[in-house]
Structure 1
Amino acid sequence: MTVLIDPPQWPGPRGLMWSHLVSDSSLEELHDFAARLGVPSRAFDRDHYDVPETVHAEAVALGAEAVSSYELLRRLIAAGLRRRKRR
């Protein structure tokens, strides 16, 4: 059971770079971690939370594993938790 975070490399609101926060075991674990981190529920998008660069270090300090975006996606898919956008 691990919460993962990728590098803040995605441009987003407020001129900040953003990361993805996911779990490789359950959405419940992810929601619990996000709540402890103080991330609002509106930041949840299908299978991940979008989090600003300003909370990256705090997420790691709380126990999130910093991984590459490729590794994050690979582990999300392997866990069966990937939820793609509907077309």
Structure 2
Amino acid sequence: MNSSLSIFRKVAVAEGISYLLLLFVAMPLRHFLHLDLAVKYAGWAHGVLFIAYAALLVMTWQEQKWKFGKAVLIFLASLLPFMPFVVDRKLKDERALS
């Protein structure tokens, strides 16, 4: 059975990918080729994944009994490009140690 941590890590990676696609693919397509639909669909997908990230973060925080500061840092990481991948790696390493 998948724990919320396992599901959270998968969603974190998907959210990170969607953020990078939005920033480095959809936005340039919009500005240089005037393809507004790229931002519409990439933004929609990223929004759904961001909400899932936040909801799963709360669930995982409760299940794993993390300190408040750790949960806040993990949330803030979702706001920066590439950081969800760093979070995933750190959580993977933590799990391997325990």
What's the TM-score once normalised by structure 1's chain length?
0.30
More strand by share: 1
Bigger radius of gyration among the two:
2
User: What is the TM-score with the length of structure 2 in the denominator?
Assistant: 0.28
* Higher helix content, 1 or 2: 2
